[in-house]
């Protein structure tokens, strides 16, 4: 429909003369479908960090591969008799370095022990030590790092310097020295690794708390009269869990390797406890002539650590906001 020219400021370039005989045509509003812009979808349920993370990981094949491997390792560690009926400490020198046979698919070691049974039962000690150590360092590191980051000032200075002292001590070196003077069992190995392994998680927790404690919901909690310990426990720490979970997942594999290293050196678990590290240590004498004695426990250790490392990578990508925006 014809309309008169608008009277607003002209968009013509300098020097152009207005043409009053121009005719502008505009479509009727009922003929044009107008689109709604920036209208929220009120029919869908609100999402959270954890739901977004689950939506991220459930479509990744790497998550399912690592999850299946971790579940299998846990089942082997808890129920080893589901996978073998052979006693791992039942040995016969007549079978020394014997090859695979019916019921013994991996063959025999130097003492005539079944390698398959020892590989299955060796998962229990390694997984228990790794799990106990991860729980211990997560609790200690989260508490110390959370208090240091939230309270700040002299509290942060003292706790951070204590963490720096422990962080400067190499984990394996400290464990080697300490294990020389205490009884060796699953609990003491986990305790020693916990005492010297918490500073890394404490640093991660401190940084996460520092980034959360100035948020608006923390200010609102203070205005409502909540005490500082309550704010830290109920509001700050739950919102700082993401990086803690990531580092704990990766650390579990690291502590399994640390236990195997101590057992390999002969100062970890005693010989009466079946472990991958101990079997790897015993196999080094026959690595040239009977490689299967070393291959199977070392392969089981490598696959276990790999599964936790892959899971840690997947969880990190899902919980890191920067990774989700890439």
Residue 11's pLDDT band (cuts 50, 70, 90): very low
Q: In the predicted model, is pLDDT for residue 32 greater than 70?
A: no
Q: What is the DSSP letter of 81?
A: G
Residue 206 and residue 164 in contact, taking contact as beta carbons nearer than 8 Å? no
| pLDDT at site 98 | 76
Please give the Cα distance from 290 to 307 (Å, whole number).
27
CATH 1.10.3720.10 is right for the domain spanning 62-325: yes
Q: How far is CA 2 from CA 26, 48, 165, in A?
A: 7, 53, 83
Q: Could you tell me which residue, 245 or 91, shows the higher pLDDT?
A: 245
Residue 21's pLDDT band (cuts 50, 70, 90): low
Listed in sequence order, the residues at least 6 apart from 106 whose beta carbon sits closer than 8 Å to its beta carbon are 100, 114, 115, 116, 119, 292, 296
| pLDDT at site 181 | 83
Q: In the predicted model, is pLDDT for residue 8 greater than 50?
A: no
| pLDDT at site 325 | 47
Residue 108 and residue 114 in contact, taking contact as beta carbons nearer than 8 Å? yes
Please give the Cα distance from 147 to 157 (Å, whole number).
11
Residue 119 and residue 300 in contact, taking contact as beta carbons nearer than 8 Å? yes
| pLDDT at site 249 | 84
| pLDDT at site 298 | 87
Q: In the predicted model, is pLDDT for residue 159 greater than 60?
A: yes
Residue 135: closest CA among 201, 54, 210: 201
Give the residue-averaged pLDDT of 10-21.
53
| Helix/strand/coil for 4 | coil
Please give the Cα distance from 22 to 25 (Å, whole number).
10
Q: In the predicted model, is pLDDT for residue 5 greater than 70?
A: no
Tokens of 209: 């708390």
- SS3 of the chain: helix, strand, coil, percent, to 5: 65, 0, 35
Task: Note the residue count of the chain.
Answer: 326
Residue 206 and residue 145 in contact, taking contact as beta carbons nearer than 8 Å? yes
Tell me the average pLDDT of the chain.
79
Give the residue-averaged pLDDT of 141-164.
88
**94 CB burial (10 A radius; 0-12, 13-18, 19+):** exposed
| pLDDT at site 289 | 77
Q: Could you tell me which residue, 33 or 190, shows the higher pLDDT?
A: 190
Measured from the Cβ of residue 131, the count of other Cβ atoms closer than 10 Å reads 16
Residue 148 and residue 202 in contact, taking contact as beta carbons nearer than 8 Å? yes
Q: What are the tens digits of pLDDT across the range 204-261?
A: 888 888 888 888 888 888 788 888 888 888 888 888 888 888 888 888 888 888 888 8
Q: In the predicted model, is pLDDT for residue 10 greater than 50?
A: no
| pLDDT at site 29 | 56
pTM, to two decimals: 0.76
Residue 133's pLDDT band (cuts 50, 70, 90): very high
């Amino acid at each position: 429909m014809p309309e008169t020219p608008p009277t607003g400021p002209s968009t013509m370039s300098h020097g152009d003369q207005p043409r009053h005989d121009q005719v502008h045509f505009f479509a009727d509003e009922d003929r044009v479908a107008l689109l709604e812009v920036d209208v929220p979808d009120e029919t869908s349920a609100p999402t959270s960090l954890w739901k977004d993370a689950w939506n991220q990981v459930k479509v990744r094949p790497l998550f399912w591969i690592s999850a299946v491997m971790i579940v299998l390792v846990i089942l082997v560690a808890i129920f080893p008799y589901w996978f073998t009926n052979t006693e791992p400490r039942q040995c016969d020198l007549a079978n020394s370095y014997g090859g695979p046979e019916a019921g013994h698919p991996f063959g025999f070691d130097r003492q005539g022990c079944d390698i398959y049974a020892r590989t299955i039962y060796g998962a229990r000690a390694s997984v228990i030590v790794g799990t106990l150590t991860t729980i211990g360092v997560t609790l200690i590191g989260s508490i110390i790092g959370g208090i240091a980051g939230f309270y700040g000032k002299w509290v942060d200075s003292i706790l951070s310097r204590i963490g720096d002292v422990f962080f400067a001590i190499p984990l394996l070196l400290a464990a080697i020295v300490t294990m020389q003077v205490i009884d060796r069992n699953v609990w003491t190995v986990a305790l020693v690794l916990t005492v010297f392994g918490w500073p890394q998680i404490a640093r991660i927790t401190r940084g996460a708390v520092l980034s959360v404690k100035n948020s608006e919901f923390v200010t609102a909690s203070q205005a409502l009269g909540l005490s500082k310990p309550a704010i830290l426990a109920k509001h700050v720490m739950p919102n700082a869990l993401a990086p803690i979970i990531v580092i704990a997942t990766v650390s579990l594999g690291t502590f399994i390797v640390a236990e195997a290293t101590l057992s390999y050196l002969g100062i970890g678990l005693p010989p009466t406890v079946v472990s991958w590290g101990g079997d790897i240590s015993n196999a080094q004498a026959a690595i040239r002539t009977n490689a299967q004695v070393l291959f199977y426990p070392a392969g089981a250790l490598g696959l276990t650590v790999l599964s936790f490392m892959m899971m840690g990578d997947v969880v990190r990508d899902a919980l890191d906001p920067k990774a989700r925006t890439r």
